[in-house]
Amino acid sequence: MPDALLVLADGSVFPGQSIGVEGHADGEVVFNTSMTGYQEMLTDPSYAGQLLTLTYPMIGNYGMDAAVEESARIQPTGLIVREAATFFSHIRAAGGLSDYLKAKGVVGISGVDTRAVTRKIRRHGVMPGTVTTHESAEAAAARLRGYASYDDVNWVTTVTTDREYDWPASGESRLRIALLDGGVKRNIMRSLASRGCAVRVFPSTTRADEMLALRPDGIVLSPGPGDPRLLETMVAETRQLIGKVPILGICLGHQVAAQALGAGTFKLPFGHRGGNHPVQDTVTGRVTVTAQNHGYAVDAAGLDGAAYVSHINLNDQTVEGIALKTEPLMTIQYHSEACPGPLDNDGIFDRFVGMMAAVPGGVI
Amino acid sequence: MKPESVLIIGSGPIVIGQAAEFDYAGTQACKAMREEGVRSILVNSNPATIMTDLEVADAVYVEPLNVAVIERIIQKEKPEAILPTLGGQTGLNLAMDLHRAGIIEKYGLRLLGTPLEAIRRAEDRELFRDMLAKLGEPVLESEICHTVEECESAARSIGLPVVIRPAYTLGGTGGGMAFTWEQLRAVSESGLAASPITQVLVEKNLLGWKEVEYEVMRDGAGNCITICNMENLDPMGVHTGDSIVVAPSQTLSDKDYQMLRSAALRIITELGIEGGCNVQFSLAPRKDVRDWEGDPAKPLPYYVIEVNPRVSRSSALASKATGYPIARVAAKIACGKTLDQIPNAVTQKTTAAFEPALDYCVVKIPRWPFDKFALGDRRLGTQMKATGEVMAIDRCFEAALNKAVRSLEVGGRSLLWERPEWRNGGEFSLEATDERLWALMAAIRRGMSTMDVSRTTGVDPWFVERLQNIVAMEKRLLTEHLDQALLRAAKRLGFSDEMIGQLADRLPEQIRNLRHEWDIRPVYKMVDTCAAEFDAATPYFYSSYESENEATPEPGAAAVVIGSGPIRIGQGIEFDYASVHAAWALQAAGLRAIMVNSNPETVSTDFDTSDRLYFEPLDDEAVRDIIENEQGEEPEPPASIVQFGGQTAINLADPLRRAALPIIGSSSETIDTAEDRRLFERFLQELGIPQPPGAAILTMEEAIKTAETIGYPVLVRPSFVLGGRAMEIVQNATELVTFVAHAFEAAQGKPVLIDKFLEGREVEVDAICDGQQVLIPGIMEHIEAAGVHSGDSMAVYPPVHLDDEEREVLRDYTERIVLGMGAIGLTNIQYVVLPRVPGEGPRVFVLEVNPRASRTVPFLSKITGVPMVQLAVSAMLGRSLASQGWPPGLWPEKPLVAVKAPVFSMSKLVGVDTYLGPEMKSTGEVMGIDRTFEGALAKALLSSDLALKPNAAVLLSISDRTKPAALPLIRQLAESGYRLYATEGTATMIEALGLPVTSVTKVLTGGHPNVVDVIADGSVQCVINTSEGRFTGSLRDGFHIRRTAAEKRVPCFTSIDTARAAIDALTAGASFDVATLREYLGQ
């Protein structure tokens, strides 16, 4: 007998088995097509407020390993899978998926035809849904009608750090970075730290002058969840930073910087979430495979004349990166830190380090 | 950058390690070239391929794949570039040969795909290690050796066990593992012999480590992508071609996955490949499975095991597993395109620059030939033994595995099968053999713990637990009441109706009815490369017990083509060729072609061959489910075509009829008339056409009685079995008892046939009938005398020895049989023609009638220009031959001669006798085509590695019965300058002729040199060995001769006729033409 239900806003119901805690959780239902990296995805703050559907059907095969967590908690409101492995096998595994969800207090459902869910979202766009273990489908659907729109919530405030903290460089510290946290993933810090960067992480509400007071060699604008148009303060503060210090914007940070440079943003019908998106460098023509997780994209119309589109997505031609022609600023819509996903783009961090090193007096 | 014209090298005949995947690759490449406006020139010696069809490439050469021939083609066609990477190891080796001969430079050819330097660095072990070291990739402890002594010294420093890998071989021929010093010597010897440069690698043995492969692509701009990764269920130690393979990997974390992916991309970049490449890794297992030194908290240790700098068997699998057309994209890259410039043919919206995302699990299982070679060594190691493979797709591993096992078609075995010995409490082994999967299941059923199974076999506990899930479901079905929930749960794990019925004590049909009552039906999901992220146009589906069906019926009439399943001995690529043409013919007639097949290597399972492809087992249940799905709400189900997919498809005629599902073409009644001995006898009697006397029998008493009535020798064979399995010529009652018992086993309850064995010329005829008229495209004569299976015989078109009267009788018989039987479409008839008796008419007997496409269809279609499958399908759809513009009768012979020669994979199958008999043993075929018989034969011999060098030494060991026939041949050999070696008896005869001969002993335990020595040490370069029958001493002695010859790759003739034909052709000077098929056909 089904002991959990996935109910979508369009009224469709998918019965399944509960794999997490009892209760219900609402969220914008999204899907990710990565075949590995479920724990990295579960702990990615960009999934705040969303119900995560994984298209790969067998999830949990290699168990759970705290070392790969990208943040301290499970970020999506719930997990939707075709099958949650009851048995896991890996040298690093310290527990199973279902126990993990339960320990972290998150709902989950297995036994769902996740391909059917994915096709629905592809056709009709992302939509609200709920995973519930204690209600009838009708009751859940009725409750969903009162669901506040995902787009109206400033999700960044729910995931950013509440106080600043330091992530030390591994080995000799050569550069100092101020990171504005909109929902950062740990591998961004790891990637910077391994390149001799000492990172100070600031809450999303931090003012530009507070960060500049650190006399950083560079600023990183982090990824994060939600509609970037709600982030007026971050955009305004970023405007204060441009031209003063080298800047790297990743995902949400890219959208924030783009807005600071006059561009707009819009919501994609069903987002880009996966580890297989081809991105082309508009200057070199080179294509790399990227990890992506975003529901909004930059509209380049209105972009400051000093900036140009540096990368595009080959699937739908959306903007994947911008750069300033003469100033040290680059942003990418995809995730150079991977985790999960291909490692092809960690050269971005090297480029950023190079960019910082090239600024006179930049080295501490 | 785009070349104006490209010479594409095919892979030659199907052998173990190099199968149908290269037809698929070459065909895709030619199509891609055409799209790019590049003139394609194709050369391949294998006629049973779609790529050698006149329409596929701009110029098609069916010619031997050697330097001299290729140079003549280059002189004639003046290609701008050459593309060898789609022709397997054959293609790469030929490219290296052309380079060494200076041809590439002499004609200023551009080598596309893989630079010569990259071929060397991937294939030469020393350069390979240097490359890995340069990239900072871990290098496995190993030493390169050129002598057995060097191998021993290397093994001493590395420590046993070690793996020995010969350089430049395919399928790991000659290599293996050594656990003891004797094994080390033996494997070193065979490995050095197998390597064309006498070089092997002695390597640390990673037995029990995980084996993982990555398929990667790179374009000329340096963009790299991964198509697919795959994990072997069988850990290191079993050749990947012999491993059960799962895609994507299941037990790799994202860290592991990306670490290996990045390494694969670094390697393809370093090699500078422009196209596809396969990289094999071994990855450290769990320490509680196999211990290793190192810190498990660090990234897992791994080694790069092998790099194939070309499209490979794994790329075909990866293509079918993901939907990404690797060969097509590789060909476009060769034409100068970059990945982002190539449209994604699947989504038709995005580009080829992306990595497929799978939302299902794929399982591949190899198909081994041990059902035919019961005496072969079934253990699996570093040398590949499988002839083919099956693939299945579902949403979980268990279901995909169950479906893959159903697809294997090994005597109807499901995962429930156990060896009778195991059931009686006998011990059984979990060592790697073709039966290990079933042994694992049996061990789990008997309560062996997951960790014990894993530690014993090295199979990761994850896979073992998944098998445990299957066993747990078996137990539920055995003990619980079969309700809706249980039935649904069993179907979701891939249990067939038959398995469920067996466990829950019902008939399969009852389970099917229950399913329908409870509305438990499969839905069909699309293989779309992108996990449903984009709307895809590819009509490629697999079944699953899920909620949403994506394969809703489309408007318009359709017909279902039943494919031929895995490539196996007796049912090869020829049947895939016919299936593909059947789909095309349906489309040409305005119908939607629906293909069902389970073989990932083939053209039939390519995404654009049919209007809809179902990747499913070819059994009753799967095919009926598909037909029901395609019927949808329509009153009539679509009809099925069963005559192109070999015995696999024909066997479905009966179940389909019982399910009241329509078949077009010959009815199942016609099939019964041909296959049921009693009906067939009565039928021929009514027509007044003779057949060898005999009977169908069900008991041993009947067998003995029949044989005595008709007189020995008799031919024993089971009915309803393809490829002459368990077929034997027996000379006396003792042999009869043994072989009839063997045949009963193979016949599985169906009768065994006993016929008088007539020694004459075997002749084969294919015919097409529309119900009114019969067109006979051609008659083929076998070079070997009757008694050698038709699939193992050399066949020549047009016949050399038949007179007009005999041809006329063959035409007459064929027409009357085909019309009388009511066969619609294709029929293959085998005859034996006895020598003419002065004053009497032709003496023609019917041996066998098969109302279906035979393995000669591609050969005959190509050399006669008659589009046989297309005409047959049109006839089946009700269009007369006349209305298609084809006259009845024997199609006029073309002014050409074509010889089809079998090719064997004997060097790979230890313990298997190479002696030719009524049971088929060959894995593939080649064709020699020319203006003269000698030219055609010489080409066929060259292409099948039977060419004799002038002044070579020949070892003769001739049975008494064949000595008279051998005399002229021996004289001819001596006169042509060949040096003769012979076993005692034969030597005495040769001396009596006054010819010089070196006598060698047959007794292996006696003095030296013995027969094995002279073959092994290279004293002789050719062997002619005939024997009497299986039980005579000569066959046992001969076994060592033939085995050694197979292992040392020395041509070995076991038929005087073949040897004579070969000598004739080669002593005649062997001058031949090199021309396109069109030129030979006069078009």
List CB contacts (< 8 A) between B251 and chain A.
61-62, 89-90
Q: Does B360 touch chain A (CB under 8 A)?
A: yes
Tell me, what's the pLDDT at B723?
Answer: 57
Tell me, what's the pLDDT at B294?
Answer: 87
**What is the CA A274 to chain-centroid distance, rounded?**
11
Q: Does A46 touch chain B (CB under 8 A)?
A: no
Tell me, what's the pLDDT at B1034?
Answer: 44
- Whether B128 and B272 share a structural domain: yes
Residue pairs spanning A and B at CB distance below 8 A: 170
Tell me, what's the pLDDT at A275?
Answer: 96
Confidence of residue B139 (pLDDT cuts 50, 70, 90): confident
Q: Does A119 touch chain B (CB under 8 A)?
A: yes
Tell me, what's the pLDDT at A286?
Answer: 96
Q: Does B529 touch chain A (CB under 8 A)?
A: no
DSSP A296: E
Tell me, what's the pLDDT at B172?
Answer: 65
**φ, ψ of residue B290 in degrees (nearest 5):** -140, 125
CATH code: domain of residue B153: 3.30.1490.20
CA B478, CA B500: separation in Å to the nearest integer?
A: 9
Q: Does a structural domain hold residue B905?
A: no
CATH code: domain of residue B1038: 3.40.50.1380
Q: Does B310 touch chain A (CB under 8 A)?
A: no
List CB contacts (< 8 A) between B284 and chain A.
91
What's the rounded mean pLDDT across residues B410-426?
A: 88
CATH number of A156-358, picked from 3.40.50.300, 3.30.70.1230, 3.40.50.880, 1.10.3720.10 = 3.40.50.880
Q: Does a structural domain hold residue B928?
A: no
Nearest residue to B410 via CA among B563, B637, B569: B569
Structure tokens given for A254? 């890219």
What's the rounded mean pLDDT across residues B835-856?
A: 93
- Whether B102 and B247 share a structural domain: no
Q: Considering only the beta carbons, identify the residue of A87, A286, A288 that sits closest to B462.
A: A87
B7 contact partners, CB below 8 Å, separation of at least 6: B41, B42, B43, B70, B73, B74, B77, B79, B81, B82, B83, B109
Structure tokens given for A364? 């501490």
- Cβ distance A58 to B396 less than 8 Å, yes or no, reads yes
List CB contacts (< 8 A) between A118 and chain B.
359, 531-533
Residue of A12, A31, A61, A290 to mutate, testing the B interface (most B Cβ within 10 Å of its Cβ)? A61
Structure tokens given for B488? 């649904």
Strands, E assignment, A217-263: 218-221, 247-250
Question: In what helix (H) or strand (E) does residue B796 lie, and over which residues does it extend?
Answer: strand B795-797
The half-sphere exposure of B764 on its side-chain side, counting CA atoms within 13 A, is 28
List CB contacts (< 8 A) between B258 and chain A.
36, 338, 340-343
- Whether B492 and B406 share a structural domain: yes
pLDDT of residue B1033 exceeding 60:
no
The domain boundary residue, chosen from B616, B645, B664: B664
Structure tokens given for B406? 């159903």
- Whether B643 and B657 share a structural domain: yes
A217-226, B289-298, B594-603: segment of lowest average pLDDT: B289-298
B-facing residues of A in 274-333 (CB < 8 A) are: 274-278, 280, 285-289, 314-315
Nearest residue to B769 via CA among B880, B647, B892, B639: B880
Alpha-carbon separation of residue B108 from B74, B84, B583, B604 (angstroms): 11, 16, 41, 37
- Whether B963 and B1009 share a structural domain: yes
CATH code: domain of residue B277: 3.30.470.20
The half-sphere exposure of B513 on its side-chain side, counting CA atoms within 13 A, is 6
Q: Domain span at residue B717?
A: 697-750
Alpha-carbon separation of residue A280 from A255, A296, A321, B575 (angstroms): 18, 19, 10, 44
- Whether B168 and B101 share a structural domain: no
A33 contact partners, CB below 8 Å, separation of at least 6: A55, A56, A273, A274, A275, A276, B357, B359, B530, B531, B533
- Cβ distance A40 to B254 less than 8 Å, yes or no, reads yes
Alpha-carbon separation of residue B308 from A93, B144, B459, B708 (angstroms): 33, 19, 25, 58
Question: In what helix (H) or strand (E) does residue B206 lie, and over which residues does it extend?
Answer: none
pLDDT of residue B1035 exceeding 60:
no
pLDDT digits (tens, 9 = 90+) for B784-819: 777 778 888 889 999 998 999 999 999 999 999 999
Nearest residue to B829 via CA among B884, B769, B888, B880: B769
Catalytic residues of A: 251, 335, 337
Confidence of residue B720 (pLDDT cuts 50, 70, 90): low
The domain boundary residue, chosen from B205, B222, B257: B205
Q: Does A161 touch chain B (CB under 8 A)?
A: no
Confidence of residue B919 (pLDDT cuts 50, 70, 90): confident
- Cβ distance B251 to A35 less than 8 Å, yes or no, reads no
3-class DSSP state of B505: coil
Closest-approach residue (CA) in chain B for A84: B396
Average pLDDT, chain B: 91
Tell me, what's the pLDDT at A1?
Answer: 46
CA B689, CA A166: separation in Å to the nearest integer?
A: 96
**What's the distance, Cα to Cα, between the start and end of chain B in Å?**
33
CA B201, CA B146: separation in Å to the nearest integer?
A: 9
Strands, E assignment, B668-789: 694-697, 714-718, 728-730, 752-756, 761-769, 774-785
Q: Is B221 exposed, middle or buried (0-12, 13-18, 19+ CB in 10 A)?
A: middle
pLDDT digits (tens, 9 = 90+) for B539-583: 999 999 999 999 999 999 999 999 999 999 999 999 999 999 999
Report CA Rg, chain A.
20
CA A29, CA B531: separation in Å to the nearest integer?
A: 16
- Cβ distance B351 to A278 less than 8 Å, yes or no, reads yes
Whether the CB-CB separation of B918 and B729 falls below 8 Å is answered with yes
Total domain count, chain B? 8
Residue of A39, A86, A89, A343 to mutate, testing the B interface (most B Cβ within 10 Å of its Cβ)? A89
Tell me, what's the pLDDT at B658?
Answer: 94
Residue of higher predicted confidence among B387 and B726: B387
Buried b (16+ CB within 10 A) or exposed e, A56-79: bbbbbbbbbbeebbbbeebbbbbb
Q: Is B748 exposed, middle or buried (0-12, 13-18, 19+ CB in 10 A)?
A: exposed
Question: In what helix (H) or strand (E) does residue B806 lie, and over which residues does it extend?
Answer: helix B804-821
List CB contacts (< 8 A) between B483 and chain A.
none
Q: Tell the residue number behind the tokens 């029929």, with chain if given.
A: B827
The domain boundary residue, chosen from B489, B517, B545: B517
Whether the CB-CB separation of B401 and B456 falls below 8 Å is answered with no
CA B1050, CA B1070: separation in Å to the nearest integer?
A: 20
What's the rounded mean pLDDT across residues B826-832?
A: 96
Tell me, what's the pLDDT at B911?
Answer: 74
Q: How far is A30 from chain B (nearest CA, A)?
A: 11
3-class DSSP state of B120: helix
Q: How far is B253 from chain A (nearest CA, A)?
A: 6
pLDDT of residue B385 exceeding 50:
yes
Q: Does a structural domain hold residue B83?
A: yes
Q: Does a structural domain hold residue B351?
A: yes
Q: Does A68 touch chain B (CB under 8 A)?
A: yes
- Describe the strand order of the beta sheet including A287-299 as a list of residue ranges: A165-167, A197-202, A175-180, A218-221, A247-250, A329-332, A319-324, A307-313, A264-281, A287-299
- Whether B576 and B645 share a structural domain: yes
Q: How far is A283 from chain B (nearest CA, A)?
A: 13
B-facing residues of A in 333-362 (CB < 8 A) are: 338-344
Tell me, what's the pLDDT at B171?
Answer: 59
CA B111, CA B836: separation in Å to the nearest integer?
A: 56
- Whether B48 and B173 share a structural domain: no
pTM for this prediction: 0.94
B73-82, B211-220, B915-924, B1024-1033: segment of lowest average pLDDT: B1024-1033
CA B650, CA B665: separation in Å to the nearest integer?
A: 11
Q: Is B483 exposed, middle or buried (0-12, 13-18, 19+ CB in 10 A)?
A: exposed
List CB contacts (< 8 A) between B340 and chain A.
278, 280, 285, 287, 314
Q: What single letter denotes the amino acid at residue B887?
A: P
- Describe the strand order of the beta sheet including B142-145 as a list of residue ranges: B142-145, B200-204, B162-166, B176-178
Nearest residue to B195 via CA among B377, B383, B15, B42: B383
- Describe the strand order of the beta sheet including B728-730 as a list of residue ranges: B694-697, B752-756, B714-718, B728-730
Neighbours of B55 (CB within 10 A): 11
List CB contacts (< 8 A) between A34 and chain B.
254, 357
pLDDT of residue B434 exceeding 80:
yes
3-class DSSP state of A198: strand
pLDDT digits (tens, 9 = 90+) for B144-171: 899 999 999 999 988 888 989 888 766 5
Tell me, what's the pLDDT at B399?
Answer: 98
- Whether B129 and B278 share a structural domain: yes
Q: Does a structural domain hold residue B9?
A: yes
Structural domain boundaries of chain A? 4-151, 156-358
Relative orientation angle of helices B508-517 and B497-504, to the nearest 10 degrees: 110
CATH code: domain of residue B42: 3.40.50.20
Closest-approach residue (CA) in chain A for B525: A115
- Whether B508 and B542 share a structural domain: no
Structure tokens given for B571? 């049912």
Q: Considering only the beta carbons, identify the residue of A55, A119, A339 that sits closest to B548.
A: A119
Q: What single letter denotes the amino acid at residue B148?
A: V
CATH code: domain of residue B375: 1.10.1030.10
User: Mind giving me the DSSP string for B274-316?
Assistant: SEEEEEEEEE---TTTS--SS-TTSPPPEEEEEEE-S--HHHH
Confidence of residue B713 (pLDDT cuts 50, 70, 90): confident
Residuewise pLDDT in 10s, chain A (364 residues): 469 999 999 999 999 999 999 999 999 999 999 999 999 999 999 999 999 999 999 999 999 999 999 999 999 999 999 999 999 999 999 999 999 999 999 999 999 999 999 999 999 999 999 999 999 999 999 999 988 899 999 999 999 999 999 999 998 999 999 999 999 999 999 999 999 999 999 999 999 999 999 999 999 999 999 999 999 999 999 999 999 999 999 999 999 999 999 999 999 999 999 999 999 999 999 999 999 999 999 999 999 999 999 999 999 999 999 999 999 999 999 999 999 999 999 999 999 999 999 886 543 3
Bridge partners, A83 (sequence order)? A58
Q: Does a structural domain hold residue B45?
A: yes
Alpha-carbon separation of residue B870 from A114, B30, B591, B874, B884 (angstroms): 42, 21, 13, 6, 10
CATH architecture of the domain A4-151 equals: 3-Layer(bba) Sandwich (3.50)
CA B649, CA B618: separation in Å to the nearest integer?
A: 8
Closest-approach residue (CA) in chain A for B493: A83
pLDDT of residue B1030 exceeding 50:
no
Q: Does a structural domain hold residue B673?
A: no
Structure tokens given for B136? 């900072």
CA B433, CA B451: separation in Å to the nearest integer?
A: 20
- Whether B201 and B211 share a structural domain: no
Q: Does a structural domain hold residue B1076?
A: no
